[in-house]
Amino acid sequence: MPSILYRGRTCEVRDGQTVLDALLAAGEPISYACRAGACGACVLRATAGEVPPEAQLGLRDAWKARGCFHACQCRPYADLTVEPIGEGMRVPARVESRSMLSPTVARVVVRLDAPFDAAPGQYVTVQRAGVARSFSIAARAERTIELHVRRVLGGKLSPYLCDEALPGDALDVQGPFGYCLYAVGRPEQPLLLAGTGTGLAPLWGVLHDALAAGHAGPIHVVHGAVDPSGLYLVDELRALSAAHPAVRYVPSVLRGALPGMEEGSLDEVVLRHVPRPAGARIFVCGAPDIVQLLKKRLFLAGASLREILSDAFVPAAS
């Protein structure tokens, strides 16, 4: 039975148990959220011992090199020495400002109190009072990041961020995670940005990075929601599309479309506008089942798998 040395304490890992479960069982207050190796809340760092590769899936190479791993995905075969991830990966931060983008989505700007290397489109885990949740970076400046937060009824963090957060409130920010970011190069390549709900946040970030880099190829932005109340930044995206002929913005809803919106499921609307996605660079973000379906349909329609970057917003485990 392998054992874990964590902050000077040793605990045993039962057969098939994850590092997260073993440490929680031993009473260690490890943060976690999705338990699916996606949110990054439970990422720890091994300073001795071998980490199974599946526990490092999705982490950046720089993190892997430092021995970081998802505790919820780590079933060790041998003893591990483990510590919380270090300086520069988790930074203290403060709420800078908060405003509503729609009745249910807030724009929260967070000021980072230490250098933080993250690109728009990647995501971070925000922690406050022992609760950790993940949010995508919609924009960033030298020392701030901007997040889109949907208010989840009965949620443990979003009601605070949407309705109560005051400038100066302390938070911890951990990350960044994910690969949904605009990599400079091939400026003529068509881009397809599609997502649901606050999946718009990373797409907004990628869109602005692409335009700032002088991307010249056509850019489709398809934002889907159940009904028009779920869409936001509609006027801003229309203005952007009017200012940049290459940008085509398609607001899309399942029902109750207003003038200028399309009706249908996201995959149908996307394929209506981009029937032949071969050769395009594609970003798909939002509800996991829709992300999964859209990726599959785009792939079957000719998109290359390595050109599809996605970020499924996995809900927190209760």
Partner 1 sequence: MATIYEQLGGAPSMDAAVDIFYRKVLSDDRISRFFEGVDMERQAAKQKAFLTMVLGGPNGYTGKDMRTAHAHLVARGLNDSHFDAVVENLAATLRELGVGPEQIAEVAKIAESVRGDVLSK
> Do residues 156 and 128 make contact, with C-beta atoms less than 8 angstroms apart?
no
Give min distance, CB of 299 to partner 1, in A: 7
Give min distance, CB of 57 to partner 1, in A: 8
Interaction between residue 281 and partner 1 (CB under 8 A): no
C-alpha span between 173 and 89 (Å, rounded) = 8
Give min distance, CB of 247 to partner 1, in A: 27
C-alpha span between 146 and 161 (Å, rounded) = 12
Question: Nearer to partner 1 by C-beta: 258 or 317?
Answer: 317
C-alpha span between 173 and 112 (Å, rounded) = 8
Question: Nearer to partner 1 by C-beta: 163 or 289?
Answer: 289
Other beta carbons less than 10 A from residue 246's beta carbon: 15
Helices 266-273, 288-300: axis angle to 10 degrees equals 30
Give min distance, CB of 207 to partner 1, in A: 23
Interaction between residue 306 and partner 1 (CB under 8 A): yes
Contact track, partner 1, 56-95, x by CB under 8 A: -x--------------------------------------
Question: Nearer to partner 1 by C-beta: 69 or 116?
Answer: 69
Question: Nearer to partner 1 by C-beta: 1 or 305?
Answer: 305
Give min distance, CB of 201 to partner 1, in A: 21
Tokens of 78: 């041998």
Interaction between residue 305 and partner 1 (CB under 8 A): yes
**Which of these, 176, 132, 142, 284, lies nearest to 223 by C-alpha position?**
284
Count of residues of this chain found to bind partner 1 when the rule CB under 8 A is applied: 10
Exposure class string for 208-239: b at 16+ Cβ within 10 A, else e: bbbbeeebeebbbbbbbbeeeebbbbbeebee
Give min distance, CB of 312 to partner 1, in A: 9
Question: Nearer to partner 1 by C-beta: 26 or 36?
Answer: 36
> Please, where are the H alpha helices in the chain?
19-25, 61-65, 158-159, 200-212, 234-243, 266-273, 288-300
Contact track, partner 1, 230-249, x by CB under 8 A: --------------------
Contact track, partner 1, 283-302, x by CB under 8 A: ---------x--xx--xx--
Please give the span between the terminal C-alpha atoms of the chain, in angstroms, as a whole number: 29
Interaction between residue 275 and partner 1 (CB under 8 A): no
Residues facing residue 4 across a β-bridge? 11, 80
Q: How far is CA 1 from CA 27, 200, 224, in A?
A: 19, 45, 49
Interaction between residue 35 and partner 1 (CB under 8 A): no
Question: Nearer to partner 1 by C-beta: 221 or 308?
Answer: 308
Give min distance, CB of 94 to partner 1, in A: 35
C-alpha span between 77 and 39 (Å, rounded) = 24
Q: Are strands 68-70 and 105-112 parallel, antiparallel or unpaired?
A: unpaired
Residues that bind partner 1 (CB under 8 A): 57, 292, 295-296, 299-300, 304-306, 308
